[in-house]
Amino acid sequence: MSVSLRESTPPPALALRFDGIWKRYGTVAALRGVSFDVGAGEVVGLLGPNGAGKSTAMKISLGIVRPDSGSVRVLGESMTPDSIELKRSLGYVPENPSLYEFLTAAEYLDFLADMYGLPVEGRAARVQSFLAGLELAGHENAMMSGFSQGMKQKVALIGALLHRPRLLILDEPLNGLDPRSARLVKELLSTLAHREGVGILFSTHVLEIAEAICDRLVIVDRGAVVANGTVASLRASAGLPGSGLEEVFLALTGTAALGDIVTALSH
């Protein structure tokens, strides 16, 4: 895709920084002193079992959820629920995007462009560039209620990129995409990070995708960071050189003894 997202102002060295974040829901600690960062121009994978705290961390990054303690800095500034201008620099794709399906794709994207205050001039050309690049051209005037899950996911991705974000928060962004579309999106994200300096926090349960696309991995388990580094460094810290990421992930999250569980369930 030939869509540039470069800003005239160079981005800060860190797109996102968590420092000692705690978040409780009642008596349950969803995050327990979580610290990590995402550099500008870096793709960081946020991995962990179900219930590990990944979605809470992402919502805190976006200012949707306020932490109980600790600090969050986004693009060098403190994030609060009232940081409206700062939030205009973020792009977000949730795990299950909720689209206004009574609108056409073109109407929906035009609505988002209005919400972000994008100028009308050049807007249509930009939308068409994304539609063509993600192979949605020709479907823009169709009601989204008739779209497949993969088509809706593409619309959500376009909506997250339209306003030239400097930090992308992506929760399972390849859900529902066919292999060709997934490859297109992976290449686009790599270009945004490594050529345009966009910071990307990328959550996925598909470890092969994480290994292929992420520069660094942050693994959380029961609300705490248990590992942070490149795949090679995580293999070394787990004492599993030469192993696949799945074995490393299971070892670091304390779920390596799956054979016993499978045996118990099979009786």
Mapping DSSP onto H, E and C, the string for 38-64 reads EECCCEEEEECCCCCCHHHHHHHHCCC
Residue 258 has pLDDT above 60, yes or no: no
Q: How confident is the model at residue 47 (pLDDT cuts 50, 70, 90)?
A: very high
* Residue 135 CA neighbour count, 13 Å, CB half: 11
Residue 5 has pLDDT above 50, yes or no: no
pLDDT, residue 144, reads: 95
The alpha carbon of residue 110 and the mean position of all alpha carbons in its chain are separated, in whole angstroms, by: 23
Q: Which of 221, 223, 213, 222 is nearest to 238 (CA)?
A: 221
Spatial distance between the Cα atoms of 14 and 32, rounded to a whole number of angstroms: 22
* Mean pLDDT (whole number) for 116-142: 90
68 residue type, one letter: D
Query: Could you tell me which residues come within 8 angstroms of residue 68 by beta carbon, excluding any fewer than 6 positions away?
Result: 22, 23, 24
CATH number of 14-89+165-265: 3.40.50.300
Q: Using an 8 Å Cβ cutoff, are 253 and 219 in contact?
A: yes
**Residue 97 has which token pair?**
């995007």
Q: Using an 8 Å Cβ cutoff, are 207 and 242 in contact?
A: no
Q: Which of 174, 227, 201, 221 is nearest to 49 (CA)?
A: 221
pLDDT, residue 221, reads: 92
* Mean pLDDT (whole number) for 94-119: 91
Spatial distance between the Cα atoms of 106 and 113, rounded to a whole number of angstroms: 10
Kindly report, as residue ranges, where domains of CATH 3.40.50.300 are found in the chain.
14-89+165-265
Q: Using an 8 Å Cβ cutoff, are 196 and 5 in contact?
A: yes
DSSP category for residue 12: P
Spatial distance between the Cα atoms of 93 and 228, rounded to a whole number of angstroms: 23
pLDDT, residue 12, reads: 54
Torsion sign over Cα 70, 76, 82, 84: negative
**Residue 46 has which token pair?**
């946020």
Residue 54, number of CB atoms within 10 A of its CB: 25
Lowest mean pLDDT among 29-33, 220-224, 248-252: 248-252
Residue 18, number of CB atoms within 10 A of its CB: 22
Spatial distance between the Cα atoms of 54 and 156, rounded to a whole number of angstroms: 20
The rounded mean pLDDT for the chain is: 87
Q: How confident is the model at residue 262 (pLDDT cuts 50, 70, 90)?
A: very low
No. of helices (H) and no. of strands (E), the chain: 10, 10
* Mean pLDDT (whole number) for 218-223: 94
Interval 65-98: pLDDT, tens? 999 999 999 999 988 777 888 888 999 999 888 8
Interval 131-185: pLDDT, tens? 998 999 999 999 999 999 999 999 999 999 999 999 999 999 998 898 899 999 9
pLDDT, residue 84, reads: 83
* Mean pLDDT (whole number) for 203-231: 91
Interval 50-65: pLDDT, tens? 889 999 999 999 998 9
Residue 29 has pLDDT above 60, yes or no: yes
Radius of gyration of the chain (CA): 19
